[in-house]
Amino acid sequence: MVVNPSWDSRCLSIVDVKDVSATLGVCSLFSNRGTLGLRDKHDPLVLAWLADKTQRVERVEGPSENLSDMWKQMIGPLVELMRARNRPLLRMTIK
């Protein structure tokens, strides 16, 4: 599962999701935090939700202007998990 908290309150809609779980959660945290302090409120909420819903959380931090490196850091743990399990990562159950 990959999440990205932001200054925009829409990033909090995910914390209302109850029936989901994952082995790995990757959270990208851009160094540009905005000027109103909203990231200071949103980041802990999203990270706490992610920690509750996943077995392991990987934080990826860096500037939003350097998306190429950020993507590499985000994809790395997902690829490692896929290789360790020797299967695709996505498995969904629809109820």
**Among 51, 54, 74, CA closest to 62:** 74
Q: pLDDT, tens digit, for every residue of 53-69?
A: 999 999 999 998 888 88
Q: pLDDT, tens digit, for every residue of 13-60?
A: 999 999 999 999 999 999 988 889 999 999 999 999 999 999 999 999
Judge contact between 4 and 37, C-beta under 8 A. no
Give the three-state DSSP class for 35: coil
Judge contact between 34 and 7, C-beta under 8 A. yes
Q: Report the distance separating Cα 54 and Cα 68, nearest Å.
A: 25
Note the pTM of the prediction, 2 decimals.
0.81
DSSP characters for 51-63? HHHEEEEEEEEE-
